[in-house]
Amino acid sequence: MYFLTGFENKFHVYRSETTQIWFNICTIKIVKIPFFMKNKKFLQSSWIFFIVFTGSVFAQNQGIPEQIPLAIRTGDAKMLAAHFHEVIELVILSKEDMYSKEQAEKIIRDFFTKNQPTQFTIKHQGGKLKSRYAIGQLTTRSGNYRVYFLLKGNDDKALIHQLRFEPSHE
């Protein structure tokens, strides 16, 4: 079994392990396919692995909407609240409760006023299609915080159901 590997512009003939065929002024390299590539089951399982692997990579990259980390990094409570569910579990330092979207926005705005963000990076993210989470490190002028948020819903309409700001010792 043979396989075409590409074209090369060469005007001389030389002998090597590959066989060359002249076609006008281009040569086509023909190389022998290794034994494991002849096996149809191996090729099929390789393609299945490739498709599953790339699909899972794309699914992971589609996890967290870009506006959420941007809103936290810039301290924009309004932009962040646009991604809140109607009722959200909010934990800021030792204060924990369930709040409406509007109440949570006011509390977050107050937090960002007292702790002006300078940097935010997502350290870890995961989950499944309808339930995803992210853990990040927020650096502010007054200290560092570990941020955790949980999103539920479809890709086009994933909303934050839980948001936590906890002191970090990093």
- Reduced to 3 states (helix: H, G, I; strand: E, B; else coil), residue 91 is strand
Query: Would you state the pLDDT for residue 84?
Result: 96
Query: Would you state the pLDDT for residue 165?
Result: 96
pLDDT tens, position by position, 61-115: 457 899 999 999 999 999 999 999 999 999 998 889 999 999 999 999 999 999 9
Query: Would you state the pLDDT for residue 28?
Result: 53
Q: Report residue 155: phi and psi, to 5°.
A: -55, -45
Separation in Å, CA 143 to CA 17, 79, 138: 65, 22, 9
* Residues of each domain in the chain carrying CATH 3.10.450.50: 67-167
In this predicted structure, the answer to whether residue 60 has a pLDDT above a threshold of 50 is: no
In this predicted structure, the answer to whether residue 36 has a pLDDT above a threshold of 70 is: no
Looking at every residue in the chain, the average pLDDT score rounds to 78
C-alpha span between 164 and 9 (Å, rounded): 61
Percent of the chain whose pLDDT exceeds 70: 62
C-alpha span between 96 and 94 (Å, rounded): 6
- Enter the CATH code of domain 67-167: 3.10.450.50
